[in-house]
Structure 1
């Protein structure tokens, strides 16, 4: 009953880095199926964000909408099952993500977890795959590159292993 919804939520948080506050406010009208985009004004920053509607996310959303979403006239995508058909809350999104961290045997006792941690992981993975900083900034919906830098945990020891020695020149 919850699996299809939870899967779509996890993909939006993990693969697109959408904040929980935006996931709970996401509307059917934000999904542009014909252009394969998700377009919305971010709740936190009030900045427009356009993200790709990746194939796996598209099919997860379609599966949820057709087979699992409660019947409602609401334009809100993620509707609660036991809350009278109202939109989910940020806390609910956090619980969903945490539940699957635990099911995956990821120890969350000594680290931050939840959808915000997934944004950090997405940013780090993009950097690791040589994605330019300005693209990472756009994906996360930041207006300032310095905000994006705070998301990137750069491993100095790993950088040392790939650094080149500067040749010493004698005259």
Structure 2
């Protein structure tokens, strides 16, 4: 999937940033669509998720690769707009945020560019959770900040899933 990133073309920087949000942070398509410019703290290297499935606010570390992809999109491709959404439509109506359907379509297209069969965009969330469970425990995984302070739940619990297969 990572090999499909960095291609040239219309809306490709937005596509790269969307895929990075899903792949590196395990964000749901609705969470990606609702990201605001105000949710990113570039100085601290963090991202705040508001209105999550669990109805809470979560602060996540912003991986450098994800931050770089978002910054490239914002600086080089994002249309001029007064809308505070990170991801906005590139066609009429331009002053509107990109919705979850556009996020899913973008991820589906990334699967196709990578030559992978597409099942659903949520698969990238599970990929991130599996990578988290297989990494060295001392490494900070993006969704680990969602865990309770004195518990050590598995990735499914950390990522707000009640069932590992959800």
Q: Report the TM-score range of the alignment, normalised by the length of the smaller protein.
A: 0.7 to 0.9
Alignment-derived partner of residue 116 in structure 2: 106
Indicate if the aligned counterparts of 1:8 and 1:57 stay in contact, CA closer than 8 A: yes
Runs of 4+ off more than 4 Å: 141-144, 146-149
Alignment-derived partner of residue 19 in structure 1: 28
Equivalences for 1:9-88 in 2 at 5 Å? 9-85=18-94, 86-88=96-98
Give the Cα separation in 1 of the matches to 2:51 and 2:12: 26
Gaps of 5+ in 2: 1-9
> SS where residue 50 of structure 1 aligns?
strand
- Offset from partner CA, 1:75-128 (integer Å, 9 cap, x none): 1110001131211111111111111111111123xxx321x1100111111112
Alignment-derived partner of residue 127 in structure 1: 133
Gaps of 5+ in 1: 154-171
Q: After the TM superposition, which of the residue ranges 63-72 and 33-42 deviates more from structure 2?
A: 33-42
> Measured at CA, do residues 24 and 136 of structure 1 come closer, stay the same or move farther in structure 2, by a change above 3 Å?
closer
TM-score, structure 2 as length reference: 0.77
Larger Rg: 1
Indicate if the aligned counterparts of 2:26 and 2:128 stay in contact, CA closer than 8 A: yes
What is the aligned residue count?
147
Give the Cα separation in 2 of the matches to 1:18 and 1:106: 20
Indicate if the aligned counterparts of 1:21 and 1:44 stay in contact, CA closer than 8 A: no
TM-score, structure 1 as length reference: 0.75
